[in-house]
C-alpha cells in the first residue's frame, strides 16, 4: 500500500519508526515543516517531502495519514478526500465546527473516499460506537493532567496554574466547547463525540492535578447496552510530549488496512 504521512513531529516520527520496515507499506511522501526536511531525507533518501496538498496528491498515495495539527487538517483534508484518497486523521477537534464537518463529510461522500478516526489517546471507542446503535443516554470524558501540562492552553485564563496545590476541576462543558477551545489538547473529545451521542450531548471535564505525572483519561457511558467505565494513564512518546498511545493507535489503524485478520 502506498502511504503518505502529514506531520513528522512527536507522533509522526514514532509512527514512521513503527511502519517503515513493513514490507506491505511504501512511504511515497512525507509532509513536514522545513526544519524537519533534512532529518526526513536522512531516513528516507529519495522519498519526496511535500509542503502543499497538490504535491501530495500527485504522489498518488492509497492512504494518507494526518498527525500534524488542526491547521494541517484544514489544509489537506478536503483536497485529499476530493481526490478520492482515504484519510486517517487525528487532529479531528476541527470537526466540532458543524458547518465544516458537514463540508468535509460531503466531500468524502462525493468522491467515495473515507475519513477514518483512530481512537488516539483513549480506549473504548469501539464499545461506544457499537452501543450507540442500541441507544446511549450519557457519555462523559474526564481527564487529569499536571498543571505544567496545561500551560500554554486556555486553562491559563481559567486558573493560576503556578499555584495549584491540589486537584481542581476547571472545565465542565460540552465536547463541542472543549474541542473548539482547547484545539490540540482535546482531539479525543471530538473522537468520543463522533463515536457516541454528538458534540453537544457529550460532557467533558478537565482537571489540573499536581499529583499525576501521566495523562489520565476516564470515559463513562450508559445506555441500553449497560454501563461502561474505562481508565487510562498514558505515558508520552520517548523524547517528547506526544502520547505514545496515540502513535500506536495510528500504527494499528494503518496495519489493519493491510491485515488478513482485522480486530
Q: Which residues are catalytic?
A: 217
Least Cα distance to 176 among 200, 149, 156, 196 occurs for 200
Q: Which residues contact 46 (CB under 8 A, 6 or more apart)?
A: none
141 with 188: CB under 8 angstroms?
yes
Query: Sheet of 26-31: strands edge to edge?
Result: 49-50, 26-31, 2-6, 63-66, 86-89, 115-116
Q: Are 29 and 49 in contact (CB under 8 A)?
A: yes
Grid cell digits, residue 39? 532529518
The answer to whether residues 248 and 118 touch, using CB atoms and an 8 Å cutoff, is no
| Spatial contact of 68 and 90, defined as CB atoms under 8 Å apart | no
Q: How many angstroms from the chain centroid is the CA of residue 9?
A: 13
Q: Which SS3 state, helix, strand or coil, does residue 169 take?
A: strand
Give yes or no for a contact between 170 and 159, defined as CB atoms under 8 angstroms apart: yes
Distance, in Å, from the CA atom of 105 to the CA atom of 127, rounded to the nearest integer, reads 23
Amino acid at each position: 500500500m502506498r502511504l503518505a504521512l502529514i506531520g513528522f513531529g512527536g507522533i509522526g516520527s514514532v509512527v514512521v519508526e513503527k511502519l517503515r520496515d513493513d514490507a506491505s507499506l511504501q512511504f511515497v511522501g512525507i509532509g513536514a515543516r522545513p526544519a524537519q526536511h533534512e532529518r526526513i531525507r536522512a531516513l528516507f533518501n529519495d522519498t519526496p517531502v511535500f509542503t502543499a496538498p497538490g504535491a501530495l496528491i500527485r504522489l498518488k498515495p492509497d492512504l494518507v495519514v494526518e498527525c500534524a495539527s488542526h491547521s494541517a487538517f484544514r489544509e489537506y483534508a478536503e483536497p485529499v478526500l476530493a481526490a478520492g484518497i482515504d484519510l486517517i486523521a487525528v487532529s479531528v477537534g476541527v470537526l466540532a465546527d458543524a458547518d465544516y464537518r458537514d463540508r468535509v463529510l460531503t466531500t468524502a461522500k462525493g468522491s467515495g473516499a473515507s475519513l477514518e478516526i483512530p481512537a488516539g489517546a483513549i480506549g473504548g471507542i469501539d464499545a461506544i460506537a457499537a452501543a450507540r446503535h442500541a441507544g446511549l443516554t450519557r457519555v462523559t470524558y474526564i481527564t487529569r493532567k499536571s498543571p505544567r501540562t496545561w500551560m500554554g492552553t486556555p486553562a491559563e485564563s481559567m486558573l493560576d496554574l503556578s499555584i495549584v496545590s491540589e486537584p481542581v476541576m476547571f472545565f465542565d462543558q460540552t465536547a463541542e466547547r472543549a474541542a473548539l477551545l482547547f484545539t490540540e489538547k482535546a482531539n479525543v473529545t471530538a473522537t468520543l463525540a463522533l463515536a457516541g451521542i454528538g458534540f453537544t450531548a457529550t460532557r467533558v471535564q478537565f482537571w489540573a492535578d499536581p499529583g499525576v505525572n501521566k495523562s489520565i483519561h476516564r470515559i463513562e457511558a450508559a445506555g441500553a447496552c449497560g454501563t461502561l467505565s474505562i481508565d487510562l494513564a498514558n505515558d508520552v512518546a520517548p523524547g517528547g510530549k506526544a502520547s505514545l498511545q496515540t502513535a500506536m493507535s495510528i500504527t494499528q489503524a494503518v496495519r489493519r488496512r493491510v491485515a488478513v485478520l482485522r480486530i
